[in-house]
Amino acid sequence: MIKATWFPRPEALSDLDIVGPGGGIGEEGLYAKLIAPEALEWREKVGVMTPADGSAKASTRLLKSGGWVFKTDTHQQHADRAVLRAQLQRLVGIALNTDLWHPDKFWFLLRADDVWWPVSACPQLTIIRAATETVEKLAWWTKMIEMGFEISKTHHLGLDLNPSNFGFEEQARDRLYYVDDEAYAKHTLFDIAEAIVARLPEDLAITPDEWRVWGRQLSGIARAYCQHSDDWRHFLDGIRDYPLTPALSSARQGLMDGISAPTETLSFASPTDATPAPRFALQKQQLPQTPITCIFGDVHGNLPALNAVLKEAERLGADSYIFLGDAVSYGPFPKECIERIANMPKTVMLRGNHDHTVGTGIPENGSNRLAREMDSWTTQQLNSTEREWLLALPVEYQEDHWLCVHGSPLDQQRFYAYVYEMTYKNNLTYLEEHQLLVCFYGHTHVQFIYRRNVDGMDEKLLPEKIEIAEESGRLLINPGSVGQPRDGDPRAAFALWSRQERRFRFYRIPYPVDATIQAVKKAGLPEDLVYRLEVGR
């Protein structure tokens, strides 16, 4: 039997009480790991601050055994088992309702020396604070900040946004997990801003220009959570007012320049490309009052389809355009599609979820294998100018009585959630509450209309000509996908909005799909993409 001198150990199975699901170990397996002779007390990980060693406070106790890490705290031991059990049940409840922690993480009570200790158990993860390469480090920090925003918005919880508190599995590096054992009150924007600027002292080798690029990535994330101009100013105040030494002034300025650069006037040039990259200037977005507007989206790197749609739309009289997002991913022509769209006149352009993922270089949680593979490939094809252009795209465009988003008007980020059978009623209610007649959206790759009539009845309509007016009720309209249709029709999809006549009409147009398929094969991309293009699924 191991005598506990630092990390508490049980003397019998009766000294263990698993609270909630047990991570697949069970009490006997748990007991065996805790008393195993090879179990290692991680004393060197406690009370230190260097990135390689960890940053746990001195009262923390860590034990590594059989691929698991067990954690407790000397300040939390208690004689009353019921008190501690209630505390752990709160954490179990959070774990069951969020994807905050590793899915196998669990909590239990351990009795040692006549007191009970609350202990967490988690498969051993690589902590992101151990990252040494600048690109990898900044990518993980971005993921951490985005996770903080999302958990705060969705679950009204705050996280300790420190790289020591987040980790990943080496065999699944696209997923980040929280490793701290406590969640706090919901973050304010000021809180998250301080967590961002607090990274500056951690690596003095990162240049102001690299901080600027990181700030540009964070700007695209933060703006999605700022609903009003006051929110944005509050966020910037947190970046500006955090106490730093004068030696970090240029680093802070670089970060501020990247975060606060207005999206309506961004202009990027790549200093590292061997050949001059085209300049992409995203001007202030204002749709001109022209007779016919072409609405299209979900191009997904399919240049032949995009060219066919724009040519046909022009032939039909289109003289302004609304692009609903997702210029890239899945298709073999990401650079060409960005350049084509970026240089279109009289065009409102939005950011889609794949634009966001490719721009940040951080995989989207919950995405499937093919999406992750293609997002990663696309990121590698683009230079920093092109990726920053994607992140500079706004997430919505609104005029008096209509709105454009990539995903769902209900989604605060505007590009992740779907409008579909389970959500369309709530989205129509959103339009009512915000006095909007219509929302144009994409993301599902299917031409469709959801309508709430003036009498309050909801209906689903297949693509057809429809009037957009107060007497038409509230409308959710999807023009379909240019480059990746998913309705069984492989032809490129778009729509025309005759604003003077208040009419909206759907269109399909064939394009040289063989050219896209040959480019997919030449690039060595997954065969699944060929099937999707051929059948429109």
Amino acid identity at 505: R
Q: What are residue 46's phi and psi, to 5 degrees?
A: -110, 135
Whole-number average pLDDT of the chain: 86
What are the pLDDT digits (tens) for 106-146? 999 999 989 999 999 999 999 998 888 888 899 899 999 99
Length of the chain measured in residues: 537
Spell out the domain ranges in the chain: 13-124, 131-262, 288-535
Residue range 497-509: average pLDDT?
Answer: 88
Token pair belonging to 470:
């107060």
Token pair belonging to 118:
């609350």
Instruction: Tokens 């670089």: give the residue.
Output: 254
CA distance 392 to 243: 28
Give the other-Cβ count within 10 Å of 26's Cβ: 12
Report the share of the chain in percent with pLDDT over 90.
49
If pLDDT is split at 50, 70 and 90, which confidence band does 235 have? confident
Amino acid identity at 263: T
Angle at CA of residue 16, ends 15 and 18, nearest 5°: 160
3-state secondary structure of 380: helix
Angle between helices 384-392 and 353-360 (to 10 degrees): 140
Instruction: Tokens 């009003």: give the residue.
Output: 228
The whole-number pLDDT of residue 18 equals 94
CA distance 435 to 474: 9
Which of 446, 536, 451, 439 lies closest to 497 in space, CA to CA? 439
Residue range 425-443: average pLDDT?
Answer: 92
The whole-number pLDDT of residue 369 equals 82
Kindly tell me if the per-residue pLDDT of 242 is higher than 90: no
What is the distance between the terminal CA atoms of the chain, rounded to a whole angstrom?
A: 61
Report the share of the chain in percent with pLDDT over 70.
91
Instruction: Tokens 């590009």: give the residue.
Output: 415
The whole-number pLDDT of residue 2 equals 47
Residue range 168-173: average pLDDT?
Answer: 84
CA distance 436 to 401: 4
Instruction: Name the more confident of 46 and 29.
Output: 29
Contacts of residue 527, Cβ cutoff 8 Å, sequence gap at least 6: none
The whole-number pLDDT of residue 142 equals 92
State pTM to two decimals: 0.55
Domain 288-535: top CATH class? alpha beta
Kindly tell me if the per-residue pLDDT of 470 is higher than 90: no
CA distance 428 to 467: 17
Instruction: Name the more confident of 112 and 56.
Output: 112
The whole-number pLDDT of residue 165 equals 92
- Which of the residue ranges 56-70, 312-326, 354-368, 404-418 would you say has the lowest mean pLDDT? 354-368
What are the pLDDT digits (tens) for 139-165? 899 999 999 998 988 888 999 999 989
The whole-number pLDDT of residue 254 equals 92
Residue range 367-391: average pLDDT?
Answer: 87
Identify the DSSP state of 446.
S
Instruction: Tokens 């609104």: give the residue.
Output: 398
Burial class (CB in 10 A: 0-12, 13-18, 19+), 390: buried
Token pair belonging to 253:
């300025």
What are the pLDDT digits (tens) for 245-291? 889 999 999 999 888 865 443 333 332 333 334 445 454 567 777 78
The whole-number pLDDT of residue 48 equals 58
Strands of 39-105, DSSP E:
40-41, 60-65, 68-73
CA distance 517 to 520: 5
Q: How large is the C-alpha radius of gyration of the chain?
A: 26
Q: Which uninterrupted H or E stretch holds 167? A: strand 166-169
Instruction: Tokens 């749709």: give the residue.
Output: 287
The whole-number pLDDT of residue 229 equals 63
Query: How many CA atoms does the CB half-sphere of 319 hold within 13 Å?
Result: 9
Token pair belonging to 471:
């007497």
The whole-number pLDDT of residue 233 equals 81
Using CA atoms, how far residue 507 sits from 320, 323, 497, in Å, is 16, 15, 11
Amino acid identity at 481: S
